[in-house]
Structure 1
Amino acid sequence: MKLYHLLPGMLGIAVACTALADEITVASGGGVYQDAQRAAFFDPTAEKLGITIKEATTSGIPEIRVQVQSGSVTWDIANTAAEECAIGHKEGLFEPLDTSVVDTSGIDPKLVGEDWVANLYYSTVIAWNTDTIGEDGQVPQGWADFFDTEKFPGDRAIYDHPRGNLEAALLADGVPADQLYPLDVERAFAKMKELKPDITVWWNSGAQSAQLIKDGEVDLIQIWNGRVAAAIADGAKADFTFDQGILMADCFVIPKGAPNKDLAMKALALFIAPEQQALLPLHIAYGPINQKAFDQPVLTDELKAKINSSPENAARQIVLDVAWWGEHGAEMMERWQNFKQQ
């Protein structure tokens, strides 16, 4: 057998391996959310590392679980809710972070796990229809006002999930923000029961919530700040407040068995670096998870005033306890469904 007969095939294999080593696949939530991550995180990282970043979409932990448990992992980095990261950690679904590569300084330690790190903040806030609320100069300034149907009569819409709602109910019932956790579940559901007759829509997606406020279908709505900001920019007659907003986070993980783990670790380090975190608010109304981003010159004082996770706005809010929800989320979801059916 002559060696040169093997060279073309061997060369093809080598080229294929090189190409594979120079690309990773990142799965995120799609839509304008992923568009913003692409502009702030994915494209700058691809350029800095000289690699290709392919994209996929994911709805979160169930799909990551299936890939890992089947031994057929195709994603190198995946985005999911921070409390799902806590769940996935317990199940051993993720690769440990290489702390010699991934610098998490500047990020709240509560939002960094052994094998996951938060990547952005969004806020659950109170928004209202300016055609029906505020004509007398009074607007909601916290969850007590949202729950006060005499002071602010009208239809309410809330996210169809206990996360954030239980916190809102307890804040409305007078629990101090620094004493929320562990959540008094009985008290929270009792308060939710008071509001239930005035909840006309239990929304299930960000797009639905934005449409509700754009159409003027409800008077008050519990909504993600990015969605209401986009709706207002698109002409919705609405306003909102960060007062008693609930700061929540999404996270990045490297699924166990990721095909390009080492390269993914380098990319992840850049995704959460201050320079790229600072780019996020240029593309969507969500905030940097890394507080060092606010030292970057790209973020002007005018822009900082609008960002949910800026020091000034964050001080008006509470941070969702990821660990608590990772421990109790499934139980709360079952109870939430029973509560709705009562």
Structure 2
Amino acid sequence: MNRKYILAAPVILAAGMAAAEETVSYASYGGAYQEGVRKAILDHLPEDHGMTVVDYVLAGGIRDIRSKVRANAVDIDVAELYGGLCDLAAKEGLIEELDYSQIPNASGIPEHLRNTHWVGFTAYSTVLAYNTDVYGDNPPKNWADFFDTENFPGLRAISAQSPATNMEIALMADGVDKADVYPVDMDRAMAKWQELLPDIAVMWSSGAQATQLATSEEVDMIAIWAARIDAAIDEGAPYAYTLQDGVMDVECLVVPKNSPNPEGAMKLINHLLDPEYQARLPEFIPYGPMNQDAFEQGLVSPEDAANIVTSSENLEKQLITDMPWWADHQTEAQTKWDSIMLQ
């Protein structure tokens, strides 16, 4: 389905509708991801909380929110946006301030992911993956090794989508501690990428393409989303990866300006952050709970937590993208990125 907004009412359980006391709308990016959120969380709300959720697909992300707000035609109560778009939406006045007195479950979200206008929901990480047949007992262990073509020869692949994440990777490869990555030294990052450019065989443009690069063993090392390399490994690709210095981008929840049901929106966000519901997410989608109470309360087993990018232990290994910084510098960074990587 390729309509801009897709009303998902047919998937609401009839029994749930009968018991529901209010209806709240939720918009995300569709596909298997949104279906997983429904199975893990939304389908349980009619019976558990008397709330029926109608979901839409945001085909254009923030562009859809922007057009609806400017046209005074908002029909969405809660929307999910990618990383830096959350801060951008706040700067443009497109979203409401959150009422945390109505969102007690937000207490389990890391403090730096609780903003006045958005709150972290799930996350995905870009990691260093490598072909185990190629590197054997001496695999690359960090981004410095990814850039070290003398000791770790082979073809590389990276995302072509944005300078965000890529610039952070280059700085850590150049010796910058992840605690000191921000503010990003864009010129230093691009100089580092320019060094590696001859060894970059592919700049992938979609998660599906990245997975295919691994399953076909077309490259020896790849900067790839953890969920995508997991999928390749499940298909038999001889790859492994490290979460050390992975770059995590956070999906956030927002309430569009003039939401039809702002009180219901706050309730829905609270339910979406419920640690019991969040703990179910990995059963349906390769994204972990952002609410740390899901781990601390034992709702996720230690064995499962070890493989989830958002577990407390794995969070410590990674760099979390500074969304406010990228909201202010995306245009300048894109220009610098394009001038070197697209030459």
TM-score normalised per structure 2:
0.89
Unaligned runs of 5+ in 2: 1-17
The 8 Å contact of residues 278 and 296 in structure 1, kept in 2 or not, is answered as no
Mapped to 1, the partners of 2:222 and 2:46 lie a distance apart of 39
Q: Which moved more, 1:98-107 or 1:183-192?
A: 98-107
Q: Give the alignment's Cα RMSD to 1 decimal.
A: 1.9
Match of 2:195 in 1: 194
Give the CA deviation at 1:207: 1.5
Measure the CA separation in 1 of the matches of 2:334 and 2:47.
42
- Secondary structure of the structure 1 residue equivalent to 2:133: coil
**Is the counterpart of residue 37 in structure 1 residue 37 in structure 2?**
yes
Are the counterparts in 2 of residues 21 and 260 from structure 1 also a CA contact under 8 Å?
Answer: no
1:67-86 → structure 2 map (5 Å cutoff): 67-86=68-87
Q: Which residue of 2 aligns with 1:215?
A: 216
| Equivalent residue, structure 1, for 2:142 | 142
Percent of aligned pairs with the same amino acid: 43
SS in 2 for 1:258: coil
Structure having the higher Rg: 1
How do 1:58-207 residues align onto structure 2 when only pairs under 5 Å count? Answer: 58=58, 59-103=60-104, 104-132=106-134, 134-135=135-136, 137-160=137-160, 161-207=162-208
- Displacement of 1:323 in angstroms is 1.4
C-alpha displacement of 1:19 = 11
Cα deviation per residue 1:25-44 (whole Å; 9 max; x = unaligned)? 21112222222222223222
Instruction: Give, in whole Å, the separation in 2 of the partners of 1:281 and 1:20.
Output: 27
Report the residue type matching 1:57 in the other structure: V
- Paired AA for residue 130 in structure 1: T
Q: SS at the partner of 1:263?
A: helix
C-alpha separation in 2, matches of 1:164 and 1:298: 30
Cα deviation, 1:1-55, whole Å, max 9, x if unaligned, reads: xxxxxxxxxxxxxxxxx99972222111222222222222322234322232222
- 1:253 maps to a residue whose letter is V
2:301 is the counterpart of 1:325: no
Question: What is the CA–CA distance in structure 2 between the aligned matches of 1:118 and 1:246, rounded to whole Å?
Answer: 15
Query: 2: CA distance between counterparts of 1:270 and 1:39?
Result: 14
Spell out the pairing of 1:226-241 with structure 2 (5 A cutoff): 226-241=227-242
Deviation at 1:271? 0.4
> What is the CA–CA distance in structure 1 between the aligned matches of 2:287 and 2:72, rounded to whole Å?
34
Contact 2:27-2:80 at 8 Å conserved across structures:
yes
Question: Do 1:275 and 1:293's aligned partners in 2 also have CA atoms closer than 8 Å?
Answer: yes
Aligned-partner Cα distance in 1 for 2:145–2:313 = 22
Aligned 8 A contact 1:243 1:317 in 2: yes
Compute the displacement of 1:248 (Å). 1.6
SS in 1 for 2:79: strand
Q: Letter of the 1:339 partner, please give it.
A: I
Q: 2: distance between equivalents of 1:295 and 1:108?
A: 13
Q: Deviations over 1:61-111 (max 9, x none)?
A: 111111111111122211111211001101110121112211221222221
Q: 186-195 or 326-335, which moves further after superposition?
A: 326-335
Runs of 4+ aligned residues of structure 1 deviating over 3 Å after TM superposition are: 18-21
SS at match of 1:269: helix
Q: Deviations over 1:197-238 (max 9, x none)?
A: 111211122122112111211111111111111221222222
When residues 200 and 32 of structure 1 are mapped into structure 2, their CA distance, relative to the original with a 3 A threshold, is same
Give, in whole Å, the separation in 2 of the partners of 1:88 and 1:179: 26
How far, CA to CA, are the matches of 2:99 and 2:140 in structure 1? 45
Q: Give the letter aligned to residue 109 of structure 1.
A: E
Instruction: Describe the SS at the equivalent of 2:84.
Output: helix
Helix, strand or coil for the counterpart of 2:41?
Answer: helix
Contact 2:123 2:290 in 1 (8 A): yes
Pairs aligned (count): 323
User: Please, what TM-score do these two structures have when normalized by structure 1?
Assistant: 0.89
Distance 1:85 1:70 in 2: 20
2:224 match: secondary structure: strand
